[in-house]
Structure 1
Amino acid sequence: MGDSKTEKRIQELVEEYKKSGEDYTVDNPRALKIHVKRDLTFNEKEHRNVVEKEPRRIREDPVAFMLNLGLYYQGTGWRGYNDYIGTKILYPNCSNKIKQVVLDSKKVQEIITQLADRQTKILVAQKKWKSNDKRIEKQRKALRKELEVVAKAIAEKAIATVDSVRTLRFFAFVVNNILVRLYHQGVHIRESEWVELKRVALLAQEKKQSLIFLPSHKSHIDYLVVSYLMYRLGIQIPHIVAGDNLDMPIVGKLLKSCGAIFIRREWGNDELYKTVLEEYMATLLSQGMNFECFVEGTRSRLGKLLQPKLGVVKIILDALIDERFSDCHIVPISLGYDKIIETSSYATELLGTPKEKESLWGILTNTRLLQLKWGRVDVRLGKPYSLKDWLDDQVKMRGPMDLADPGQKSILLKSLGYRVLADINAISVVMPSALVGTVILTLRGRGVGRSELIRRVDWLKKIIEIKGGQVSEFHDMSTAEIVDKTVVIHKDLIGERKGKDIVEPTFYPIAAFELSYYRNQVIHLFVEEAIVCAALYSVVKKGGGKPLQRMQYADLLDEISFLSSLLKLDMIYRPGGVESNTRRTIQWLADNNVIEVSDDGWVGLSDLERSCGRENYDFLCFMIWPFIESYWLAAVSLFTLAPPSVVAGQDPIWVDSKLFANRTQSLGKTLYYQGDLSYLEAVNKETLSNAFVRYEEQGIMLKKRHSSPKPWSEVAVSPAYTPERQNGILMPRGHLWELVDHIGRFRREGKNRRDNGTVSTRVLRMADILGEDNAIPTANQKATAKKNSVAESTPSKAKI
């Protein structure tokens, strides 16, 4: 590749910067030329498997494997990681310099002084020293020294130690071998997205600004994939916010040397800890260090994006508002896997099994796991954008705002969180596993024939692309080949019946709960359509002729509003209100012949949809039904909180929230195995937890939080929703039953759910059985009651 082509590309980049209104000077033309040459190589193809030529196993090609090891050791070519874009790191004492800046900072020193003064005052009051006592200043200095030691320990625990390029090369070699062995079809990127990222990274480097990587969080290896790609493509590796549960022997030290920042999940009222961490992150941003955190806060056990957890994002936004740095660039990232390592453990956790201790080291050293072939990884980048520009646009759009006001700042923060989630959904790639899993779980019957499975995968791929979604590249493989490969990858989740007595190979779900993880990766594309179809199902399920299976538009909109509000903590909707979204959604459904709207405002199934056996309509209902079941179960479980007798003015029955959640799952499992619940996944604790939060927001459920003997909470049903009894028996009436009945209208009809009277009798009887144990106080309740009793019986100093 000639220099003239490189110089031409350099000039094109400079012109792009000028068009964007940025002044650009080339401080490091050699580094720029290197990256431009790489870009020109990448641009020969739209998509690229970045590990395509990497040797996988030493026994397959020992010469190539050892040669590759030597290249990493010697730092040859891109493996040397010498000309990366971004502020320079990976030099001796890099982390120590940052740590010293943090500990010597004005904010950290001020909080140490405040805490020392506060503790000194308490000590003086206890010992009744006079104000001029020389021991006071001595004590204050001693406390300062103790707090400085504590601050140093916090910094030592949290601060990444990115000091050695050799350590990074070693780790990159390890991660490379994990990825190429576990994901044998490679790690795929869209090259145009990475060229754009490099353009922004070069601009950020000139202005000493950071890139903020905000990936989706599906697996432990997410941060390994992102850091490996930055290393592989020549961009400064990010500092990554991680839970301190990953700070394990050996692997924890290695992760820290590659950018991991270990923080506690809960900071509570620890002012020193909070200040040190905030100052560290602000320091990184002020020095142009790249940064990575997961806006969901934790890994999604359901497959879909979680609601935003904005603690770290708040620190970034606060630092920008306080002018600790000039600007940074937000980079949304979507990671898609044919199969993730944790699928089975996620399912057991969601069903109530205690969470296993984290063991990334187990993953890195599990030779059996690394013998598996789990398809491919697809990584997509959203277009990077300036956080300062976004903030300015928000202020212009919303009018004058007081950014010092916590309430107004919270609005901005939430808006940013949902913007990032929407960006991730927009760029996410639907993997073959999601296509096949979705089809298998959204068809009626015990299984699906191979030809029908292929036909429906083709249909789903087409409809996703029509809706603007992205499907993983099939390359030269047919849909049939993709389906066959996916079934092999997921042979533990998808069974196949074949033989002489079977006319056609038939596939069926072995583990529907685990398979639902992959189906949920598609739900964001169809959530509005699914809600409309579920709302319409309240009349479709009644049967009868076409005139009996339709609703007036206004009535349908009421039901859609109810469902959308109910599920708001689990679903991420497109921008716009319910009415505008509903109009757009109904138009789309009508254009695709799923429903029809008459001139006088009636909405019902189209004739074409009826003639094809409702397959598209049912598909959309199947997407949302498991979540509706969860919210129905959560509402039913509130009957277990009913007092043994209803007396006017009676205090509600308070139950330990963890115990209540466990009893709800027990009730759900019983209802599932007895046929009153269609989906075992409806019993998952994550969706149930969101349902309880939603009922708390609506004033249906009450919650009290306690700080001792350890943080815990207890719940009760609101007096307005207290279930009614007759002769001591729970009755299906009152506000709570109205809620249960309303949600029940949208549930999938089944054998045991046609007779509402039978359901109410059977379900309420089981709820009453569980409720009998609620009168027995737990250890937490006993301890709190004892503490309150002691407090009430101890006279205060004021009374004395």
Structure 2
Amino acid sequence: MEQNFGFVDMLEERRRDCDFLWATRPMDPLLPHMLPPESVYNRDKIIQSVLLDAQVRAAIHTIAKTTGVEVKDIESNARAMINEMASRADLATVRWLGIFITKAMKRMFSKIYVNETNLSNLKKETQISQIQYVYVPTHRSYLDFILLSYILFSYDMALPNIAAGMDFYNMKIIGELLRKTGAFYIRRSFSDDLLYKQIFRSYINNIVSHSDRAIEFFLEGTRSRSQKSTMPKYGLLAIILESLLQGDVPDIHFIPMSISYERPPEELLFTYEILGIPKPKESTTGLFRSLSILQNPFSHGRIYFNIGEPISARKFVDTIHRKRKVIHPSFKIPSSVVEDVAYHIIESHKKNTVLMPINIIALLLNERIQMKPKEPYTLDSLTKDYRWFKSFITKSLRALMFETKKINDNDEIEQEILEALKPHNELIVFDPSNTLKLKQRHKAIKLLDQSNIKGHFLSERTMQIAVPAINIAIYINPTLTFLAETAFFTATIEENGTQIGVALERYQLLRKLLSTEFVMHPIEDKDLIKTEWEKTLNILLSEDCLYMAEDLIRPGNNTQLFSVLHNVILPFIDVIYVICTLLFEWNEKTSDKLTDRTILVEAQKEVERLMLETRSWCQHPYCLSLDLYNTTWVNLLSQGIVIAHPEHTNIYRTDKAKLAYLINVLRELPLRRPVGTYVDAFPLIILTSSVSTQAKL
């Protein structure tokens, strides 16, 4: 996509208009599901349809038979469940909320850029199609679903049926307000509740087939605290795809939407959550307390809202599947089909991510801290590095960076950098000597109940170093959407060169181990892996980051690019090694049963020790991330390296032979340790000042 193409600042017009007149304007919201009137169900009719559903009725009678409870009592329970769940659209409520949300958006954000070209194309398509639409945004903030609804309302499009968690349902007043904007509520876990499961399945089937509004849900399930894609959750997606087999809709189009925040509202909270400090419980009081972020105008910079190409479910759910459903009504869509659809949506999310200047600035600052910790990072030096790296990531890797004008000379680049730092003046600033510094964002937290800590209880010294470092890493992570493959490559090449076959094997290993972390579709076909590898190699060869000498691949003259890519992937590899080592030594070191909780605590404890006491593995504070441990654990489970106990829930054992092999291969990787560490550089890079957290922890 060309720079600037299709993006419009939707707040520009709002700043000229009267909010009340705009929100109460005459409108006939565009309904994206063009159904004949007799096929459209209102809320009451959907509830009735769910309660009469054959599988719901069967579940009611099964429960009555096995428990001895009266059928009418179970039916009453079923009605309460569906009433708790079902959305209730109300345009008047949307209008009044629109006034408040407009004022908040204009205060918090300098601009909200929407890809208006793609949105207009979507509007045109929905006016001539009878298919159902499912909006699938990225999930980077609680603000995501409010933002999407706000955009749809602004462009006279009907608000969708929005999947929401029970945390919001339990918020006084707010829960019902959200329901009236389209929210339907889902319990976090209900796999053991037969009645709820069947009611939920039937409700989704009904809104897919009989609601004239689209559906919205977050494929990732929960917010990405790391600000990059996370592994998809398949449950709701599978039920939506199952609905296609019923034959009531000709197709379902999934609309991927990528939301990029210059500064997410929960920025500091994400940092603490990554370290194991639990998030505050959602409450109406907490919501009003969070409105303090409105004190400083434009404090959260810009948002970019990009819309991907529609993904047709019929391309995955073919005629064979539909015929099998007719012959065998209990037929379920194969999990491989659900996974394929999910990965296609995630790939669209990645492709349409718009990077911000702060993402590049954070990456370059992280590199400077580790490689030249004693050299001041001046605006002149940063400008030079910024220009170079921005050119690489946008031209060679085709990453999207939206610009309002072409930037050519150093003065304009300096201005872009300084403008980008304004929303981040609580984290990164230039000191009086024009040197880039980090601010100390952490202050001592008094936790009355340490049992709420999700990991190891980290020392105050560790927290002082880790909080600003991980805050920086959160802004680096979006770049990994585009850098991952090239970064893997740099961890496979030795100083004196590596044979082509060895480099390819190492790349395959890292891609497999980190596929969960970077949500990369597993590839078993060696030819496809080699094609990806060769494409990545050619990029690095063209940048003089590598060169070929006979059958060897060697580091090239562009050592700066090699170093940036290598150092950014290092924490992810280090964490895998440390967790594998802990798992291998588990029985010898402890008699405790192996659970996901215990390994998480022990891993964070060991990483803290390595970071403070050694110069070996896990020197970067991001290695303390609980998110990293969770994705590593899931990956090891998927490979059969960690094995669930057949009889005891949440108890695991390990395959020692596979672990030994993996540890040995990881030790043989040609990893280069940076000359500096955050621990050593901390006094030099921190500009101490009074800090205030955005929310009470």
Pick the TM interval, shorter chain. Answer: 0.7 to 0.9
Check 1:412–1:739 CA distance in 2 against 1; reply closer, same or farther (3 A cut). Answer: same
Structure 2 partner of 1:449: 378
Structure 1 partner of 2:188: 265
Contact 2:355 2:401 in 1 (8 A): yes
Highest RCO, 1 vs 2 (Cα 8 Å, sep ≥ 6): 2
- Structure 2 distance, partners of 1:409, 1:403, is 14
Structure 2 partner of 1:432: 357
The answer to whether structure 1 residue 461 and structure 2 residue 407 are counterparts is no
Superposed, 1:575-594 pairs within 5 Å as 577-594=528-545
Which residue of 563, 575, 579 maps to 1:630? 575
* Paired residue type of 2:62: Q
* Paired residue type of 1:678: Q
Q: Deviations over 1:555-603 (max 9, x none)?
A: 11111112111112112448873211111111111112111112x2110
- Structure 2 distance, partners of 1:659, 1:97, is 49
Structure 2 partner of 1:172: 98
Which residue of 157, 164, 172 maps to 1:249? 172
- Structure 2 distance, partners of 1:523, 1:482, is 22
- Structure 1 distance, partners of 2:207, 2:543, is 51
- Structure 2 distance, partners of 1:459, 1:402, is 60
Deviation (angstroms), 1:54: 2.4
Structure 2 partner of 1:383: 309
The residue matched to 2:547 in structure 1 has which SS? strand
Contact 1:351 1:683 in 2 (8 A): yes
Structure 2 partner of 1:213: 135
The residue matched to 1:522 in structure 2 has which SS? helix
Which residue of 385, 399, 410 maps to 2:335? 410
- Structure 2 distance, partners of 1:394, 1:459, is 51
The residue matched to 1:520 in structure 2 has which SS? helix
The residue matched to 1:642 in structure 2 has which SS? helix
The answer to whether structure 1 residue 671 and structure 2 residue 604 are counterparts is no
- Structure 1 distance, partners of 2:177, 2:486, is 46
* Paired residue type of 2:138: S
- Structure 1 distance, partners of 2:326, 2:546, is 44
Check 1:360–1:110 CA distance in 2 against 1; reply closer, same or farther (3 A cut). Answer: same
Structure 2 partner of 1:130: none
Structure 2 partner of 1:68: 19
Structure 1 partner of 2:564: 619
Q: How much is the aligned-residue C-alpha RMSD, in angstroms? A: 3.1
Contact 2:271 2:471 in 1 (8 A): yes
The residue matched to 1:213 in structure 2 has which SS? strand
TM-score normalised over the length of structure 1: 0.73
* Paired residue type of 1:358: E
* Paired residue type of 2:67: Q
Structure 2 partner of 1:8: none
Deviation (angstroms), 1:255: 0.7
Superposed, 1:664-743 pairs within 5 Å as 664-675=603-614, 676=616, 677-704=618-645, 713-720=650-657, 738=664, 741-742=667-668
Deviation (angstroms), 1:704: 3.1
Structure 1 partner of 2:443: none
Q: Deviations over 1:50-80 (max 9, x none)?
A: 111324xxxxxxxx88x422543xx22xxx4
- Structure 1 distance, partners of 2:596, 2:431, is 44
The answer to whether structure 1 residue 470 and structure 2 residue 400 are counterparts is yes
Which residue of 354, 373, 395 maps to 2:278? 354
Deviation (angstroms), 1:395: 7.9
Contact 1:85 1:234 in 2 (8 A): no
* Paired residue type of 1:311: G
Check 1:116–1:244 CA distance in 2 against 1; reply closer, same or farther (3 A cut). Answer: same
Deviation (angstroms), 1:177: 1.9
The answer to whether structure 1 residue 486 and structure 2 residue 420 are counterparts is yes
Superposed, 1:171-320 pairs within 5 Å as 171-183=97-109, 185-204=110-129, 207=130, 209-247=131-169, 248-287=171-210, 288-320=212-244
Which residue of 85, 98, 119 maps to 2:67? 119
Check 1:702–1:228 CA distance in 2 against 1; reply closer, same or farther (3 A cut). Answer: same
The answer to whether structure 1 residue 560 and structure 2 residue 494 are counterparts is no
- Structure 2 distance, partners of 1:505, 1:746, is 30
Deviation (angstroms), 1:706: 7.2
Deviation (angstroms), 1:168: 1.0
* Paired residue type of 1:671: L
Check 1:705–1:514 CA distance in 2 against 1; reply closer, same or farther (3 A cut). Answer: farther
The answer to whether structure 1 residue 322 and structure 2 residue 254 are counterparts is no
Q: Deviations over 1:627-669 (max 9, x none)?
A: 1122122123225513369xxxxxx852343133112211111
The answer to whether structure 1 residue 345 and structure 2 residue 269 are counterparts is yes
- Structure 2 distance, partners of 1:509, 1:625, is 24
Larger Cα-atom Rg: 1
Contact 1:566 1:694 in 2 (8 A): yes
TM-score normalised over the length of structure 2: 0.83
Could you list the runs of 5+ residues in structure 2 that have no partner in the other structure? 36-40, 441-467, 678-697
- Structure 2 distance, partners of 1:338, 1:413, is 32
Check 1:700–1:194 CA distance in 2 against 1; reply closer, same or farther (3 A cut). Answer: closer
* Paired residue type of 2:650: S
Check 1:360–1:525 CA distance in 2 against 1; reply closer, same or farther (3 A cut). Answer: farther
* Paired residue type of 2:500: Y
Deviation (angstroms), 1:407: 8.6
Check 1:562–1:212 CA distance in 2 against 1; reply closer, same or farther (3 A cut). Answer: same
Q: Deviations over 1:189-212 (max 9, x none)?
A: 1221011111121123xx2x3210
Check 1:460–1:364 CA distance in 2 against 1; reply closer, same or farther (3 A cut). Answer: farther
- Structure 2 distance, partners of 1:401, 1:564, is 40
Check 1:88–1:581 CA distance in 2 against 1; reply closer, same or farther (3 A cut). Answer: closer
Q: Deviations over 1:429-468 (max 9, x none)?
A: 1122212222222332235221221222222322232222
* Paired residue type of 2:608: K
Q: Deviations over 1:592-616 (max 9, x none)?
A: 2111112x2110122x32xxxx111
Deviation (angstroms), 1:278: 1.1
Could you list the runs of 5+ residues in structure 1 that have no partner in the other structure? 1-43, 56-63, 121-141, 541-548, 646-651, 723-733, 753-800
The answer to whether structure 1 residue 550 and structure 2 residue 497 are counterparts is yes
Equivalent pairs, count: 623
Check 1:720–1:638 CA distance in 2 against 1; reply closer, same or farther (3 A cut). Answer: same
- Structure 1 distance, partners of 2:236, 2:95, is 28
Structure 2 partner of 1:789: none
- Structure 1 distance, partners of 2:307, 2:335, is 26
Contact 2:87 2:179 in 1 (8 A): yes
